[in-house]
Structure 1
Amino acid sequence: MREELPCWDAPIKARNRMRVKPKRYFVDPSLAVAALGINPSRLLENGQVFGDMFENLVIRDLLVYTSAWVGIERPKVYFYRDDKGLEADAIIELEDGRRAAIEIKLGENKAQDGVDSLLAVSNKITANPYSQQRDPSFLMVIVGNGMYAHTTPEGVHVVPITLLGA
């Protein structure tokens, strides 16, 4: 019924502690909607619940896509959050250390918030010379609406969920 997403153990030395408890997501977010007894119109009226269900849906899709990975080892999916609120909704990491950081926003009008968060996470991780971390392979904000993907001037990809596919 649920999937646990572990916290990414970022190899950084920082005063800020990271969240260590896993986040829990429904295997199918429609189960949560049904359990809450929310119909579509009520879901649309409650932006917070709708956003949470959208994040759950995207995480589920990322887990499905990474499970289909053909290679030596399946990529691992984590989340990142420190005690100051700095976060990335998903970190996808390959065995060789390459990784991507992803933020999930329901509306494209919130994409810049995701861009700012991802850049802050990336800067924090790569700023420590002792961590020997290279820049993420890519940063991406997945949004719930929009017809086209684009790349911001900072190099962050903003992609509607409808453009993701296996």
Structure 2
Amino acid sequence: MVLPIIQANPHIALTGVAPHLIDDWTNLPELQELMYRESGRPGSYISVSSHIPQTEDIYVRRHAARGVKVRMRTCTIDELGFSRRDVAWEDIVAGRFSPGSTTLELERTARLICSGGWPAGIGQEDEIARQTAECSVEEAILQVSTVFKKKVPTASAVLTAIADGAGEDTNHPALTKRIEQLGVKPPSRTTLSTYLGILERLCLIERVQGWDAPIRSKSRVRTKPRYFPVDCSVSTSMRQLAANDLLGNAPLFQACLKSMVLHELLCRVDSPASKTPGRVCYYSDADGLEIDFILLFDDGSWAPINVELGEHQVTSSAKRIARLYNKLASNEGSGIRPPAFSAIILGSAAKRSHEKISDSFVFPITDLY
């Protein structure tokens, strides 16, 4: 409604009390240059967009130090109001953890996954929140056509394949296989790369690198990026699934739960305001050892994290983490220190425990805050 007015006089968009929010500034890129020119102090303007522009004005690049780029993500479980707040993030990073009774049923986790972390769903009933998630994902994917002039069905198939296999290989053969299972003709390697780039610029997928761990045979460590959806509801939204559908599909449930945990981790370490800044990787090697996530903190510390549906999987999960410790210990000259902590995060549980095999904190996802 106001775009023609702002196009005629962009200064109008900057009028208002600071901090002044400018939504979808990428519809008029010159606005960002004006913001850099006219900002009197840090925080004068907040410009947001639902996608990352392909190019930036040379003035913007030259004066980028005057602004801070923040990757916005959907809400955490705590922000949604669903955390029991029994496990403080700062505590476990410092090695503090208290076992005890808790409660999280798999059915509840399934409903949380289908609702996702979309702000429009806050305070809504489960079914309304699920429908809100579907609308949010649909609105985002439509930008493939409106912004990037590409095919929405192809992008939808690629996004669904990524969400369905969260945490698994996302190279061309792996994604091709999953796309074929959707009944869609898979794109070529070049076309797939193009759509992955678009989905990243639309902030619909997260890129996670493999950890180049200091073990003896580095050639056996896999480091190529894997992709995850930005929100745990993406897979169920693309397929229009409800919680009961998820309860009948263990592999899909596991993939969605991994996406949920990754989102919680990224919101705590990948932020300018984070007290524990760092990055999230995965670990995989040719011996078949897989660790879902490795946190690499900026202070040089690290932490392995696995994700499981329930308490029955804790022992096998702990043994995988212990195998990683053994591999690292075999390289005496690596200089790597013991992990800050180790965790196994569950989708259902009746207790928090301190597992002994890998010295891991075990707790359900909804205990974290």
Correspondence 1:163 to 2:367: yes
Pick from 214, 219, 234 the counterpart of residue 11 of structure 1. Answer: 214
Q: In 1, Cα distance between the equivalents of 2:210 and 2:265?
A: 15
Q: Size of the alignment, in residue pairs?
A: 163
Matched, 1:129 2:359: no
**CA positional deviation for 1:147:** 3.5
Q: Take 1:76 and 1:67, find their aligned partners in 2: how far apart are those partners? A: 6
Q: Answer yes or no: is the 8 Å Cα contact 1:100–1:138 preserved in 2.
A: yes
1:57 aligned partner, one-letter code: M
Alignment-derived partner of residue 53 in structure 1: 256
TM-score for the superposition, normalised by structure 2:
0.42
Letter of the 1:94 partner, please give it: F
Q: 2:309 aligns with which of 98, 106, 113?
A: 106
TM normalised by structure 1 equals 0.91
More strand by share: 1
> Cα deviation per residue 1:90-111 (whole Å; 9 max; x = unaligned)?
1111223211100110111111
Helix, strand or coil at the partner of 1:123: helix
Relative distance call for 1:49 and 1:117 in structure 2 (3 A) is same
Aligned counterparts, 1:55-134, within 5 A: 55-68=258-271, 69-70=274-275, 74-134=277-337
CA contact (8 A) 2:212 2:218 kept: no
Structure 1's unaligned 5+ residue stretches are none
Q: How far, CA to CA, are the matches of 2:269 and 2:217 in structure 1?
A: 30
Residues 5 and 24 in structure 1, CA contact (< 8 A), matched pair in contact too: yes
Q: How far is the alpha carbon of 1:124 from its aligned partner?
A: 0.7
Deviation, structure 1 residue 26: 0.5
Per the TM alignment, residue 139 of structure 1 is displaced from its structure 2 partner at its CA by 1.3
Shift of 1:67: 2.7
Shift of residue 70 of structure 1?
2.5
2: CA distance, partners of 1:139 / 1:84? 21
Aligned 8 A contact 2:343 2:361 in 1: yes
Kept in 1, the 8 Å contact 2:307–2:346? The answer is yes
Per-residue deviation, 1:38: 2.0
C-alpha deviations, 1:74-124, integer Å up to 9, x for none? 211111000121121111112232111001101111111110111111221
Larger Rg: 2
What is the distance in 1 between the residues matched to 2:340 and 2:232? 29
Structure with greater proportional helix content: 2
Select 2:232's aligned residue among 29, 35, 38: 29
**C-alpha spacing 1:15/1:78, structure 2 compared with 1 (3 Å):** closer
Structure 1 vs Structure 2: percent identity of aligned residues? Answer: 30
Q: Which amino acid aligns with 1:161?
A: I
Secondary structure of 1:70's counterpart equals: coil
Distance 1:24 1:126 in 2: 29
Query: Whole-Å Cα distance in 2 between the matches of residues 12 and 149 of structure 1?
Result: 32
Correspondence list, 1:141-152, <5 A: 141-152=344-355
What's the offset of the Cα at 1:130?
A: 1.8
Three-state SS of the structure 2 residue aligned to 1:149 is: strand
How much does 1:58 deviate?
A: 0.6
